[in-house]
Every structure is written in C-alpha cells, then in structure tokens.
Structure 1
Amino acid sequence: MSSTLPIEALRAPLVEACEKTRRIILRAPTGSGKSTQIPQMLLDLNLVQGQIIILQPRRIAARLLAARIAAERGVRLGGEVGYQIRFDRVESAETRIKFVTEALLLRQMASDPHLKGVGAVIFDEFHERNLHADVAIALARKLQEKQRPDLLLIAMSATLDTASLAQWLEGSVTLAADGRAYPVATEYLPGGRAAGRPIWEPAAEQVRRVLQEEDEGDILVFMPGAYEITRTLSAIKALPEARGIECLPLHGELPPEEQDRAVRPGADRKIVVSTNVAETSVTIPGIRAVIDSGLARIARFDPLRGIDTLFVEPISQASAEQRAGRAGRTGPGRCIRLWSKTDHEARPAREVSEIRRVDLCETLLLLRASGWGDAGDFPWFEAPDPRSLDRARLTLIDLGAWTPEGQLTDMGRRMAVFPSHPRHARMLLAAGEYGCVTEVAAIAGLAQGRDIVLRKVDAATESARDAVGCEPGSDLLQRLALLYRATDMRFDANACDALGVHAQGALQADRAARQFLRIAQAQGLTINETPAQPETIRKCLFIGLSDRLAVRLDAGTLRCAVVHGRRGELRSETVVRDARLLVAAEMEEVQVRGEVTLYLSLVTAIEESWLHELFPKDFSEVATVRYDPTQRRVVTRLERRFRDLALATVERDDAPSDAASRLLANEVIAGRLELERWDSQVDAWIRRVNFAA
C-alpha cells in the first residue's frame, strides 16, 4: 500500500470513525487512492467482519480496480480480491474485497435481504448518483436500521455534496482528505470553441501544443462518444509531432484486452482518447496532461412523452474537476479545457442525478416484487419526478405487470425475475406460450447493449450484410440473423467486420441471451430447439412493445403517430418501410445538426388482427363534432382507437343539430364564417338592439 497517497491521511480518522458509527461519508480528490486503499484499510485494520463490497457505476472500473488491489497485495485475482460484473464473475469462498456493479447488488439484496456474510458496503463515486446506487443505499440504510446495525456503510467521492447526504444519513461521520497528490494547472480556451467547429479539431490542436511544450508525460483526451474518439484519434495521428507515439481509444464497448492496453503503464509515451469512463476510479498511470472537450453523451427520459433522449451536453463543474484530477495522479500536471472560463462559471455545479432523468419501470417493478414497497413511500435520498413515476406506472399497466389500481399481478411477479427492462421480460413470458423462447431471448440479449450493426460501412460490406438471409417484417429479425452468423463465426473480429457487425457487441448479446435462457428455463418455460415461425416471434415483440405501437401517417413519408399522443419518424435504414402498423423497440429523441427529431428504430410490422386477438379490451370508438373550414360545414368525426391511437377515421354529415348550431354560431361570432345576407345594415341593427337593451 502506497504511503504517498493523500488518502493515507485518513487512516487514523477512519479507525476513529468506525468506533463511533457505522455510517461514513468520505470526500477525497481524484487520484487520492480512495477506491483502492479504503477497502484495504478496512480489511487490514480489522474494521469489518465479513465481505467488503464496493459498488462501482462502470464495469470497466470494477474489473480494473479489483485487478489493481490484487496486484498491490500480491494475491491471485479471484482469491482474497475479486469482482462480479454482468457475464463475468471472478471470486471464491475466500474473497474478502469484492467490486460489483450497482445493479448486481440490488439483485443480491432481492434474493438475500439481510446480506448475510457482508460486513461493509462502499458506494464509490456516489456523486454520479446512478439510479441503482440511490435504491441500494436507501435499502442498505433501512437494513442497517432494522436488522443489521453492524453493517458499515461508506459513501465516497471526489465531488460529493456531503452536507445533504449527511442530513439524510443521520449519525454519519464525514471524513475529508484535501489536496491532490500533485498540483494541476488549469487552462481555458480563450473565447471558447468556434460555433459549428468539430470538437476533435481544437482537441488535436491542443495535443500538438502539449507535445511541443512538454517532452514527457502521457496525454488523456476526453470525448463524448466512440464516434468522436475515432475522429480525434485520426486527427492526432495526422500530427507530425505525434509520430512514434501510441494513440489508444478507451470506452466501455471495447474488448477487455483493449481497455487493459489503454490503462497499462509502459515505458513509451502514449495518448489515450476516452469517454467519461476515465473520469472516475480508473487511473491511467503516467498522465500529465488532460485535454477536456467538456462534453458527454447524457441519456435522459422524457416522462411526458415516454421517450429516451441522447444528447451531447456540456458537463458540470464537478465532472470537469474530476477530469482535471486525472493529470495530478503521478506528477504535476495540466488540464486544458476546450471552453472559456465564462462558459465554465455558467455551468451547473453538479450533474442531474439519474433518478431525475431515466426510465423508472424496472426499478418500480423490482421495488414492488421484492417487497420493498411503493416508490411513493420509498425512503429516497432524492425523490424522483412524480411525472416519471406516473409514466412508469402507465407502462407497467400496459404490460400487464400492474393492475390499473397499482397492484402487482402474477405476470408482474414473474417479469421481475428477469434482469432487464419489463418489456423484454414480458416478451420472454409470451414466448413461452408461443414456443419461441430461444429467438426472443436472443432478441432481448441484443437489446442489452450497443446495436451490433455498424453504421457507415462501404458498399461491399453492406452487400455482404444484406446477403445474410433473414425473415422480413422486422429489423430485429435481421439483427437476429446477423447474431446467429456472428455466433457461427465465433465472433471473429475480422469476419464480423466484413459483415458490418460489431463483434464485441454480438458477443455481449449472445452472453445476455444465454443468461435469459437460463432464467427462462428456471421459470419453467420450454426452450424450443427447432426454429420458431417469424409471425409468432413478431407477436411476442408486439406484446412487449404494445405501448410503442405506431401507425404510418401517409405512405409517402416515414412519419408516424404513436400511442400516448406522440409523433415520430422511422429511421431511413429500416427494412420495414411498407407496413402501416408497427412497434418500435427504440424511440429516441436525437439532436442532429441542431435539429431535434424523435426517431423510431428497430421496428417490427404488426397485423391489425393481432390487436383484436391480444388486446381486445383496448379498443374504443370516439365521435367528435367539429367545423370544417375548408368545406364550410359541420361534420362528425368517428375514430376507431387502440388505447389513444387513432387507427381509422371516418367523417359523416350527421352531426346533432344543437351541436352543429353552437359550432356555426361560434364561427360567425368569431368572424371566421360570413353569412350571405349578413351586411353592414344587419350589424347596425344589432348595435341598436344591444344599446336599447
């Protein structure tokens, strides 16, 4: 254990705090060593009996931190120190320090409410306020108060709002380790980035400047996503100053070996271009300069329309501070921010917590099914938006998981077993009835990660991909065929690239599908060994996506009307271009060149007869009387609706006379309808009558 890290100053205060309370809030700067050293202090100073679980918001951090501690202690990874992330579990009966992602802890608490054998739970990087972390810390506090007063809870971060957390976590002790290991000088771009200029251009310019001014030290560049990382790496590699310097990407979609390569220390100088996975927990040794775009891709959920949004947004001041700290870990560093100081001061202090910006369906279902109560009564650190709760409840009712009165159904209880969005759980249960569990499990697996279809491929690759035979009627059936082909090719990167398929994404989808199959089998569902009929697969998709039913507005465009009063547009690359009725697995509001559009993607064609077969009670006929200014007459508009979506409209001339009279009178009074014999003399007469009255 290093004695030079700032976190070492908290060794004695940590012992004292553990003697006073079992609730600790710890604030320490980026690079201080809190993620690796605090768990070891608890173990080595015998402050905890049982396993020490450390929650991490990202899988890459959980894996790398466990490996780092194991190396520091000179033990085998999976022995005294281990980790568990989705599809990867490295631990044993002797594991005392265990890193896990937050969703896995929730599932563990659902199956083992008392956390037997666990002595401490550490919520690392709690400032990120991930939804699962908010739920887990509330449950852990409740468990500590009711049954486990011995359970040690620690929330820690570099930029934590300790005052509000301390108020909620009553009786806690706050510890702080101030000061970085080394100072970091912060610079701003005078005047900021020019409007419309791609972010990778000024980033490459600043990399050139650092290479010209500094003879040693690695460089870390922060970009919002994989696309920007690729463009930035291309711009940097074109610099004469970058010749002979290794340039590496770092993001969550890379294979583990490529992630390891980016963070592994080495004798040669390197430049790493990363998303915000390198913002916290993951320390890259040797970084002496940070070039920060000041941007991140932020996922949000619009509760009013029930859609996901994904925009590139400016990061908060707290995130900027986290990123700057990456340069002060192993020596004096510098951070160049690609925005102005005035812009920085106008940015929010902290990010909006996930509980205020993401879909809450899975969380609400898990709370109710696990006996943790209703979201409205749950002891949140920060309560969610009531509109988001209402939207989640509506979706769960649509899926049959809840009754309209809010009671959990038998279907909902079965759905909660699957570690995924309730939509996919509902599809899988339907697949058990229709004999297509194998295919639907694979489709659900495809939905758990990135799209396996690569965009912007050359003509030869697109032709090879199109040649892969698939059943018509669904973009998801196309991806299912590509997943099967990738599986046959053993996810070989070169072979998958030739098909325009993301090999690592396909591998992750296959692992998720196998997990779903194991759960389905444990739930008593029959796993079909022969291929299912495409129509039955599409029916199951519809059952899980009925609240995303859309009807084409006209045959000449890709515009659609969607259930619950939404409008959107099909993505142009869909294979389902002629269907009138369809469901969308993804509905995402995307900002492209300054314009915002609601895109419907991964769509499946639906037959209207299926609506009557599967949801007969969700139909209604609505009659409205209105004035048609084009035809200058009152008409009755009859709509046949599925929930609130109009499937067919007919206009008739049989409006009730009293309603027609009121509408015509209103039009006349408003001056929008002129009567043939109504002239100035009539107006004068009306004025005289009104005056006399």
Structure 2
Amino acid sequence: MAAQMPVEQAIPELREALRDHGSVVLVAEPGAGKTTRVPIALLNEPWLGGKKIVMLEPRKLAARNAARYMASTLGEKVGETVGYRVRMDTRVGPKTRIEVVTEGVLTRMLQSDPSLEEAGLVIFDEYHERSLQADLGLALALQCRSLFREDLRVAVMSATLEAEPVAMLLDGAPIVRSEGRMFPVETRYASRKAEGTIEAEAAAVVLRALAEQEEGDVLVFLPGAGEIRRVESRLRAALADRAVDVAPLHGSLPQEAQDRALAPSEAGRRKVVLSTAVAESSLTVQGVRIVVDSGLMRVPRFSPRTGMARLETLPVSRASADQRRGRAGRLAPGVCYRLWTEEENRHLAPVGTPEILAADLAGLALDLAVWGVDNPEDLAWLDPPSPAAYNQACELLTELGGLTEEGKLSPHGEQMARFGVHPRLAHMLLRSAPLGLIEEASLLAALLGERDLLKGDGARNADISLRVRALRDGGANVDERVRTRLLSEASELRRSLESIGAASAPPAKAAPVEDAWGVLLGFAYPDRIGRRRGPGRYTLSIGRGAELPGGQLLAQAEYLVVAELDDQGQEGRVQLAAALAEADLERHFASSIRLEETVRWDAEAQAVRAREVRRLGAIVLSERPLAKPSPEKVAEALLQGLRQEGLAMLPWSRSARQLQERGVFLAAHDPAWPDWSDAALLDTLEEWLGPYLGGMKSRSDLQRLNLTQALESSLTWELRSMLDREAPTHIAVPSGSRIPIDYSNPEAPFIAVRLQEMFGLPDTPRIAAGKVPLTVHLLSPAQRPVQVTRDLASFWSNAYFEVRKDLKGRYPKHYWPDDPMEATATRRVRPPGS
C-alpha cells in the first residue's frame, strides 16, 4: 500500500462537501497527493451509485502517468479499475471506474452523451493551468448538471488557485484546503541578466549545481523540446565521464523515455531531467533535490488582428515559478536556481493568462456548435471568451463550411468535430477524400499538428514539401523520434476518415491536382493563400503582407499557401508554406473567387477607371476594363474623386465664386439660408452637383460645368429672391454707378469706389435687410485707397477734410468741395455743368 499522503486528511471534508453540496473546490499544495489519492478515496461513495469518476488532466503525459500510478496502488494494470483516454490512445475496459481524460476527450464525451449518464463525478485537476479545454469542459459540465443531471458531482482541484471565484461559479461550493508536505527550498537568483542563449545558461548552472550539491537529482525547466535537445547535447558532452544520466521529458517522447525520466536514479548515479512545463504540477519526478528554472514557457497566442495563432516564448508567472521551485522540496530540503535576477522576479505577472483569452477559438466555436450553443454567453465561464476572437473563429468556420451562414452547425461541421484536431485540419482531411489524397492529407495533418521534424539547416526552409518527403523517407537531418510519432498519428487520422466512411468512398470525378501540398494546405488555410508581388513578397487573401526569407526556391512561386507566419509588423515572415499552381487555384478554389466590377477614382489619371476584377479575398487574380459601367457608379466615383481632390478641381468662374460667397455671407446672418462653405458643398455634392455629371468621368470633363447654374438650381424661388434682395451683386452709388460688392470676407463685405462718386451720401450703405453695413474702400482718382470705413457719416464730418487737403494737392484739377454733403457726386474730373 502506498504511503500516507497529506491530502488524505482532507478526504472526510471532501466527501461531506460532495455529498451535501454536489460541488467542491480543493486547494492542495504540490506533493499533497490530490491527483492520485482523491479519485480512489471517492470511488465507493454512496452518492456515486457505482458510476464512473472522470478526471480531466490538462496534459497527455500527466494523464497517462496518473492513471498508471493509481492502477499500481490497486495492484492492477491500466485499463482495469483505472484507465485513461487521450487523443489517439485509450486504455479502458468494461470494469473501468476511474477514467483520466484530456485534450477535449471530456468535451466529446459530453457531446455524444449530454447527460453523461455513466459518470457520477467529474474532477478538473490542476485547474490553475486554465487550459482552454478545462474551461470548456467545466462550462459544459455545469450546463449538463443544470439541464439533465442534478446528481452529477463536480470537483475542481488545484495547487495554486484563487479559490473564491471558482467556488462562486460552482454556486457557492465549499472550499477544502490541504497542506502539502514541503521541505524548505533555498532560492538562488542570477547575479545579472542572461547575456548568452538560454541553453548555454541552463547547462552552465546545471554543471555548477551538480558540483555544489552532493545529493539529489536535478530537474530543469525549459520552454520547449528544441531547447531540451540543445541542452541535452551540451550536458552529455560535459558529463560523458561522470555517473550522471541526462533524461529529456516532454509529451512527444515515447512512453519508455518518459518512464526513464520519471523513475528514481540507479544506485550510485545521479540524474538530470530536462522538462517542459509538464513537470510543473501533476507529475512527480523521483529523487529531485535541485531545480534549475529557465523562467520561460511556450504558449499559444492568437491575434484577432491577423487571424493567426503562433507559439510564443514568454516569462512564467510568479505562481508557476513557485510551483517549479516546490519540486525541489518534495523529499528533503532543496535548492532552486533561477536564471533571472531578483529585480526581474519582481516584475513577473502574479498568475498566467487563461488560454481562453489568448488562444485560437476555432475549435471552441465548433465544439459549442456541436453542443447546440450559438452564443458562449449562454454558458457559465470563469472568464468568457473574447467576443472579437470568438466572432473571428465563427467566420473561419463559416468559410470552411463547418457553420451555415446562419451560424448553425452544418453536416460538414459535424464530421469535422469528430476528428479531435483543429477545424482547419479536419476540413482538409474531409476535402482530400474526393480527390484521392487521403494519404497525403493525413501526413500533412500530422505534420501541421506538431513541431518540426527537421533538424539543422533544413528547419530554416519554409517549404512544407521537404517535411512531407522527410516524413515518408527519413534522412540524416530528421528527428526519428518525431517521425515515428507523426507516422503513427497519420495512420490514426486515416483510420478516423475510415470510421466516418470518407476514406472508403470512391473518389468522385474531380479536376486533376498538379501540386497536392498546395491544394491541401489551401483547404486548411484558405485565408492565407498568397500571390507574389515582388521577390519573396506576397499579399495574402486576408490582406496581410508576407515575406519569404531570401534565397529559397519557394520564393519563385507565383502563388503559395502559408501555414505558419509570424505576427511581427506589417510584413510577416513566412515560416511554413507550399506552392500552389495557378491551375489548382482556379479549379479547387473557384467557389471562393469573386467577380467584381470596380468603378473608382484614379488620382494619377485624374479620371474614373472602371474595371472587371476577379479576386480571391484581397488578392487580385485578373482584371480588365469594364465596357459599360453603371452611370450611377461612375458619378459616385467622380464625386469621390472630387472629395479627395477638393473643390479646386471644379471650373470656378468669377460669377460662380461670387455666388458662393454671397451664399456664405447670407448663411452667417440668416438661419434660413443653406451652408455653402467649401466643406458643406463637398458634403452635399450629390444634391447640388450630381444632376449635372451625366456623361462625365474625368477632370477635363468637369471643366464643362456651369457652376453658377448648378448652385442657383439648388435654390428655391424664395431663396433666390432673398439672395437678390439681401445680398445683391452690386449697389448703386450717388454718381449713378453700380459698384460690385466683394463678399470674399463674409464678416465684412465691401465695395471699392472713388470718393467723388459718394458725395452727398450721408450714411454707409447696408445689406442683409439693413443688418450689415458695407465696408467702403474710398479711392483716389488713381484708384488707390485713401480711406476704409464702415461709418461714412463720421468720415464726412472728420477725416474728409484731411483727405481733401492731400488729394487737392495731388489732383488739383479734380473737384474737392468744402461741403461733401452739398456737392454733386461725379464719375468725372468735375461734376456736370461746372
């Protein structure tokens, strides 16, 4: 029988909570034994009624090992009382009562049986990791309990979790706490920021730790399998003559390699385990007294801006760092070496970002559609998915045919959901069958679902066809462990196609395929088909730019499909792609090609250009002049050009400009008058200018316009009368002359008139129903201003006499009377009869 574990002291309280409330939140520190002891302790509870316990683990490796360990404590093999289900690997039997599941298996169980009749308890282990599938599984389980199964129990377990929000989500569930069995761990920080690669830093610290610590094995946390391989290579070379074993640990390793990493060291030897975050919580690596933490993790991040997901290497949260450190204190006092400084530690985020807020939601949207939910707001979430990211996921599913235009699950989407892979890959697999490309699609889906199997320089080439050949044939630059696993996954995918009848169906009569990899990749990524627009530069159908690193043969392709693209800047770097033959594009993606008539203003030509354009999203495939464009669209484009270029493009005559200025003046003084400012005229071009644009399509055509007529025609008879009455073009002066009024300044319209023509006029002329005095520019006989006034009476009384003296000296033959009010106004040198 296994040794007593700390969590067992909390079992009575746990039983009581599940019996009375039906839900519970268990917070148990690392090493408490919650993963392997709780399911067995609850197996014979009366409220379970002989039904199964289903426990969701966020990682395949942890799920398999938890099931094996529990089975061993019962003296059984996996598949008897305790079994597991993970994607492409199931070990359950007719007597199985505890099922450890992961990777969406719980979701598919609920979708196939919404009442989950065989289960009496669902446990969500390590919920603090906040995997997308854990959040989805909990939301579906809660709705299952609400709609069908009031007796279904739910337990959420975690080592580092803010328990209160989860308890509230579970209708106020009790919170049970269990102290772990933890020895003190000394934390040693780096004295400076890392300057070299993380691999070099990690290897150096491991060697130092082995030298400083006499006992115990070493657990090293690294962000991914690539870093693990490189550190492994360095350490094997440095430790070749020492009794130290180096063991990698990550989910893609064969089971025997994982077992070696988790097992205790042989007598007289020490062990260095190089692990991803998989060893952070659920797994226990025997014999560890030393932890070396890179402080990095690799997580998927989705960008709604580009519609693309990628793996990012990010700093861990403080909660994760503390979890990792605790691994050194399970058996005895230990030490944790952190490859970052204390100052950097203070800037770590307290907890990680839930995957549901940062990941691609296409799979989630498809799962909800299968469940029958259109809106995620219908479910209870600890953190609901982002509406923008979720809507974008639904748009992709609609493009793939998984959802109808109304947002409902289609028959094609129902088949897609049965594969347990990303909807893109499921769609590609289903589309491959009628073309007889099942073998190729299965290989490609396996490749796209995993990390690169190429090593060395080959990994830098973006051409996916190189990977397919390497997967089929092997080679010196191929990671054989990865290749073996991918071939197994490809076989499983082929069997999945057979299970739904797709693989057995005879290929339908279809157009030939010139390049299978480009066509298949196009099925998976129709939004990332790209067309060449320069050496190594492409425009993708989503409108984003993409660039291939220089020197690659793939960069000569006119069309390609991008599977992986970084999300940096405007021109992302292509990391994985396939060439797409133009004939294949036309044959197999014809339903996505749109024929558009574009009628737009061409600023360079200063004319409207009408074209017939065939396009795939943002990619223009071909275009030609449109013979008979719609007159309405031409006029609309011409008006758009006017808005871009401004009113200066129109043929403003002097009378037209004066007419506009008179209107602007009146609008400033009478609310009944329409706004004729340049901005307002641009806004209302359709109303006053549109009727005169028939047959016109260029700037030169516009020169035929009569703007005076166009503006006047927009006025009612009443407004025209008001314009002539209150903002006349001319005004009569005492000499009999009709002097034009200048309205260029609507605040101060003015006339310019020789002083002698104004004799006898006592007051300043007024317009706008007498509300606005004109500014009078009084001119000399030589037409030069001698006085500007808006108060003519004051001028005659005061300034006139000084002006008269000056003018009389310069123009002695002209008439300069002593009393301007009694004098006769004249346009001549002297008044008539003098």
TM-score calculated relative to the size of structure 2 = 0.71
Shift of 1:398: 1.4
Unaligned runs of 5+ in 2: 627-633, 650-677, 680-741, 750-834
1:22 maps to a residue whose letter is G
CA distance 1:621–1:419, change in 2 (3 Å): farther
Moved more, 215-224 or 10-19: 10-19
Match of 2:168 in 1: 167
Match of 1:482 in 2: 470
Post-superposition Cα deviations, 1:226-254, rounded to whole Å, max 9, x if no partner, equal: 22223323444455798321122212222
The separation in 1 between residues aligned to 2:551 and 2:372, in whole angstroms, is: 44
The separation in 1 between residues aligned to 2:584 and 2:478, in whole angstroms, is: 35
After TM superposition, list the pairs within 5 Å mapping 1:521-670 onto structure 2. 521-527=498-504, 534-535=513-514, 537=516, 538-554=518-534, 556=535, 558-570=536-548, 576-589=554-567, 597-607=572-582, 610-611=585-586, 614-615=590-591, 618-628=594-604, 636=609, 640-648=614-622, 658-665=639-646
Shift of 1:263: 0.9
Moved more, 98-107 or 289-298: 98-107
Percent identity for Structure 1 against Structure 2: 34
The separation in 2 between residues aligned to 1:413 and 1:294, in whole angstroms, is: 41
2:256 maps to a residue whose letter is E
Instruction: Find the structure with the greater CA-based Rg.
Output: 2
Moved more, 661-670 or 577-586: 661-670
* 8 Å CA contact 2:370, 2:414 repeated in 1: yes
Moved more, 415-424 or 527-536: 527-536
Match of 2:198 in 1: 199
Match of 1:506 in 2: 483
Post-superposition Cα deviations, 1:591-615, rounded to whole Å, max 9, x if no partner, equal: 9xxx994425132314267347622
CA distance 1:237–1:540, change in 2 (3 Å): closer
* 8 Å CA contact 1:542, 1:606 repeated in 2: no
Unaligned runs of 5+ in 1: 467-473, 486-495, 671-685
1:243 maps to a residue whose letter is R
The separation in 2 between residues aligned to 1:409 and 1:15, in whole angstroms, is: 43
* 8 Å CA contact 1:571, 1:601 repeated in 2: no
Shift of 1:392: 0.5
The separation in 2 between residues aligned to 1:240 and 1:187, in whole angstroms, is: 23
Moved more, 375-384 or 565-574: 565-574
2:485 maps to a residue whose letter is Q
Shift of 1:689: 5.2
When the two chains are superposed, the root-mean-square deviation of aligned CA atoms in Å is 3.3
Moved more, 273-282 or 417-426: 417-426
Shift of 1:572: 5.8
The separation in 2 between residues aligned to 1:574 and 1:375, in whole angstroms, is: 44
Post-superposition Cα deviations, 1:268-306, rounded to whole Å, max 9, x if no partner, equal: 211111111111111101101111111111210101210
Post-superposition Cα deviations, 1:344-383, rounded to whole Å, max 9, x if no partner, equal: 2221111111111111112212211232443343332311
The separation in 2 between residues aligned to 1:573 and 1:447, in whole angstroms, is: 24
Match of 1:13 in 2: 13
CA distance 1:419–1:239, change in 2 (3 Å): closer
Match of 1:129 in 2: 130
Match of 1:273 in 2: 274
The separation in 1 between residues aligned to 2:616 and 2:315, in whole angstroms, is: 40
After TM superposition, list the pairs within 5 Å mapping 1:137-536 onto structure 2. 137-191=138-192, 193-194=193-194, 196-237=195-236, 239=238, 243-266=242-265, 267=267, 268-456=269-457, 475-485=463-473, 496=474, 498-527=475-504, 534-535=513-514
The separation in 2 between residues aligned to 1:616 and 1:122, in whole angstroms, is: 45
The separation in 2 between residues aligned to 1:617 and 1:199, in whole angstroms, is: 47
CA distance 1:661–1:175, change in 2 (3 Å): closer
Tell me the number of residue pairs that the alignment of Structure 1 and Structure 2 aligns. 643
CA distance 1:600–1:147, change in 2 (3 Å): same
Shift of 1:553: 1.6
1:101 and 2:80 aligned: no
Post-superposition Cα deviations, 1:375-401, rounded to whole Å, max 9, x if no partner, equal: 343332311111101211111121122
The separation in 2 between residues aligned to 1:183 and 1:6, in whole angstroms, is: 17
Shift of 1:454: 3.0
Match of 2:664 in 1: none
Shift of 1:179: 4.2
CA distance 1:621–1:253, change in 2 (3 Å): farther
Considering Cα pairs closer than 8 Å and 6+ residues apart, tell me whether 1 or 2 has the greater RCO.
1
Shift of 1:442: 3.0
Match of 2:124, SS state, is strand
The separation in 1 between residues aligned to 2:89 and 2:430, in whole angstroms, is: 26
CA distance 1:609–1:142, change in 2 (3 Å): closer
The separation in 1 between residues aligned to 2:552 and 2:108, in whole angstroms, is: 36
Match of 2:272, SS state, is strand
Shift of 1:215: 0.9
* 8 Å CA contact 1:5, 1:32 repeated in 2: yes
Shift of 1:175: 0.8
Match of 1:71 in 2: 72
The separation in 1 between residues aligned to 2:213 and 2:648, in whole angstroms, is: 76
Post-superposition Cα deviations, 1:177-197, rounded to whole Å, max 9, x if no partner, equal: 134332222232234x23x42
Shift of 1:160: 1.2
